[in-house]
Amino acid sequence: MFSATTAARFSKTLLLASIGLFFTIVVFNNTTDFHSNYQFVHHVLAMDSTFPGNQGMWRAIYSPQIYLAAYLGIIAWELLNAVLCWIGAVALFRARNVSQNEFTRAKRIGIAALTAGLLLWFVGFLSIGAEWFLMWQSKIWNGQEAAFRMFTVEALILVLLLMPEPANDSQ
């Protein structure tokens, strides 16, 4: 049987690895179906599906170079998240049998990875995309729900990762 400490450590390791898997698949999809998701960035930045006559249209960007730079930046950020999550999960797995202090130190990369993911969803998609470029007005190019879902999932995993493990209950 696993002790409560061991079970908590495995849980944190597996959850962090699951976010690494998610970001790995996202990067794979964004690179193998580049045009589909590029169109998302293009339409959000161009604001071409927001409410007609809205007063925020002065914010729209009409530069394919900026669309490409923004999309490549998103993919790079997602790749960074994937790599950090995988490195963090390996660090947690390797530290599964060490002292509480050493395991807590092993959490650092995972904490950084999850924080970077939260920043992507909250700043990149919810603040800049949804609010600055009024993505929320679009019926077609609106990624708020997916961004909020991922922000919530990562936030919950970060909270779990930050929690100390229970005292070892093996007898």
Residue 19 scores a pLDDT above 70: yes
135-155 residue pLDDT tens: 999 999 999 999 999 999 999
82-138 residue pLDDT tens: 999 999 999 999 999 999 999 999 999 999 999 999 999 999 999 999 999 999 999
- Angle at the Cα of 42 (from 39 to 44), degrees rounded to 5? 105
End-to-end alpha carbon distance in the chain = 11
DSSP-derived secondary structure for 120-160:
IIIIIIIIIIIIIS-GGG-SSS--HHHHHHHHHHHHHHHHH
Average pLDDT over residues 58-83: 98
**CA–CA gap between residue 155 and residue 157 (Å, rounded):** 5
Whether pTM exceeds 0.85 = yes
Contact 103, 9 (CB under 8 A): yes
Hey, where are the domains in the chain? 18-162
